[in-house]
């Protein structure tokens, strides 16, 4: 039984590797929505991929969320490798333990690396935003984000993320009317990969998702199926780490 399950997962990986626009797909068994342990498995797989790609002078941009928290908890120091971690975005209205900056500090600790943070309030108006972008300390971190060799990030279901961030009724309506399905890096997008709404926060933008960066995408759970298939139309990734629930869904989409 166990042997059959393993080869089944291998099969999913092989098929998805042939069809998805990524260099590598890793699949862990189960459904993260049904079983908390699956998130740890995703974390383990992601930590493993990261270990293979990270170098001593690597700058790693990280996003927030519970999946990234699981990745952070699975990281360990590697000999002579001390990466620098930077958060992808300033405050997006996430809970403290799920904020990119908290994950960033935890990842740096786990790998004996270092970190730089973006000190920005969760919600800033347009004027304050423009002013903050001129701050040398903010500019410094943005230039690190631009230079980053690696990006490790989560993806969420659009409405679930908007709820988690206590979006206004007006914002919820915009997302619903435009059929937003996914969220990544503070962008909400529809199933065709069109941006519906972008949160006004400081840090990484879609334009920073360039080919020179190794992008590791980690997500699991049936509730994220649509978000992940839309993500490939919205952005790009090099290494995709998903659970079986999403893997099976993506295969039905081909
Ligand atoms: O809020 C940061 C973030 O990475 C979002 O971009 C993403 O949608 C979400 O976290 C995923 O959260 P979780 O891993 O808890 O599902």
Per-residue model confidence (pLDDT) at position 119: 79
Work out which ligand 1 atom sits closest to the CA atom of 153.
4
Average pLDDT, the chain: 93
Residue 81 Cα to ligand 1 midpoint, Å, equals 27
pLDDT of residue 201: 75
What pLDDT does 122 receive? 61
Residues in the chain: 254
Which pLDDT band, with edges at 50, 70 and 90, does 38 fall under? very high
Residue 106 has pLDDT above 70, yes or no: yes
Residue ID of nearest Cα to ligand 1 atom 6 = 184
Atom 2 of ligand 1, residue of closest alpha carbon: 64
- Residue among 61, 68, 157, 162 to mutate when testing ligand 1 (max atoms within 8 A of CB): 68
ipTM of the predicted assembly exceeds 0.95: yes
Q: Does the model's pTM come out above 0.90?
A: yes
Confirm if 220 and 38 have CB atoms less than 8 A apart.
yes
Ligand 1 mean position, distance from CA 1 (Å): 34
Instruction: Return the pLDDT at 58.
Output: 97
Cα–ligand 1 centroid distance for 251 (angstroms): 23
Q: Which of 156, 160, 205 to mutate to test the pocket of ligand 1 (most atoms within 8 A of CB)?
A: 156
pLDDT at 130: 83
Q: What are phi and psi of 119, to 5 degrees?
A: -90, 95
pLDDT of residue 61: 97
**Binding pocket residue ranges, ligand 1, CB within 6 Å:** 63-68, 92, 94, 153-156, 161, 183-185
Mean predicted confidence (pLDDT) in 166-189: 96
pLDDT given for residue 154 in this prediction: 98
Distance CA 195, CA 187 (A): 7
Rounded distance from Cα 129 to ligand 1 centre (Å): 22
Average the pLDDT over 98-111 and give the result.
Answer: 95
pLDDT score of 6 = 62
Q: What is the pLDDT of residue 125?
A: 77
pLDDT at 109: 98
From the CA of 156, how far away is ligand 1's center (Å)?
5
pLDDT of residue 36: 94
Report the C-alpha gap between 204 and 59 in whole angstroms.
13
Q: Rounded to the nearest whole angstrom, what is the distance from the C-alpha of residue 235 to the centroid of ligand 1?
A: 16
pLDDT tens per residue across span 223-245: 999 999 999 999 999 999 999 99
Q: What's the pLDDT tens digit per position in 2-27? A: 555 668 999 999 999 999 999 999 99
Q: What is the mean pLDDT of residues 169-188?
A: 97
Q: Cβ atoms within 10 A of the Cβ of 51, count?
A: 14
Kindly state the average pLDDT of the residues 169-180: 97
Which has more pLDDT, 134 or 241? 241
Q: Ligand 1 mean position to 161 CA, how many Å? A: 7
pLDDT at site 5: 61
Q: Is the pLDDT of residue 44 over 80?
A: yes
Going from the C-alpha of 36 to that of each of 31, 41, 42, 73, 105, the distances in angstroms are 9, 9, 10, 14, 23
Tokens at 110, concatenated? 């786990």
**Atom number of ligand 1 nearest to Cα 157:** 8
DSSP the chain: -HHHHHHHHHHHHHHHHHHSSSSEEEEESS-TTT-HHHHHHHHHHHHHHHHHH--TT-EEEE--SHHHHHHHHH---BTTB--EEEESBS--S--GGGSHHHHHHHHHHHTT-EE------SS--HHHHHHHHH-HHHHHHHHHHHH-SEEEEE-EEHHHHHHHTT--HHHHHHHHHTTEEEEETTEEEETTS-EEEE---SB--GGG--TTSEEEEEE-SGGGHHHHHHHHHHS--SEEEEEHHHHHHHHHH-
Confidence band for 178, pLDDT divided at 50, 70 and 90: very high
């Amino acid at each position: 039984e166990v042997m059959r399950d393993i080869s089944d997962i291998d099969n999913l990986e092989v098929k998805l590797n042939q069809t998805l626009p990524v260099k590598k797909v890793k699949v862990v068994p189960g459904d993260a929505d049904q079983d908390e342990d699956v998130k740890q498995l995703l974390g383990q797989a992601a930590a493993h991929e990261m270990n293979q790609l990270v170098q001593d002078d690597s700058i790693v941009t990280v996003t927030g969320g519970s999946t990234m928290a699981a990745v952070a908890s699975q990281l360990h120091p590697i000999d002579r490798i001390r990466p620098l971690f930077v958060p992808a975005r300033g405050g997006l209205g996430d809970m403290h333990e799920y904020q990119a900056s908290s994950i960033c500090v935890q990842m740096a600790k786990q790998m004996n690396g270092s970190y730089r943070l973006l000190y920005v309030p969760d919600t800033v108006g347009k004027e304050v935003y423009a002013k903050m972008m001129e701050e040398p300390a903010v500019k410094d971190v943005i230039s690190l984000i631009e230079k980053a060799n690696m990006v490790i990030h989560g993806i969420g279901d659009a409405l679930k993320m908007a709820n988690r961030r206590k979006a206004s009724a007006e914002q919820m309506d915009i997302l619903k009317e435009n059929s937003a399905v996914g969220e990544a890096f503070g962008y909400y997008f529809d199933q065709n990969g069109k941006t519906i709404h972008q949160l006004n926060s400081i840090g990484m933008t879609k334009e920073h998702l360039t080919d020179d960066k190794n992008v590791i995408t980690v997500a699991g759970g049936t509730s994220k199926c649509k978000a992940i298939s839309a993500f490939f139309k919205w952005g790009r990734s090099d290494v995709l780490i998903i659970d079986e629930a999403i893997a099976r869904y993506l295969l039905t989409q081909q």
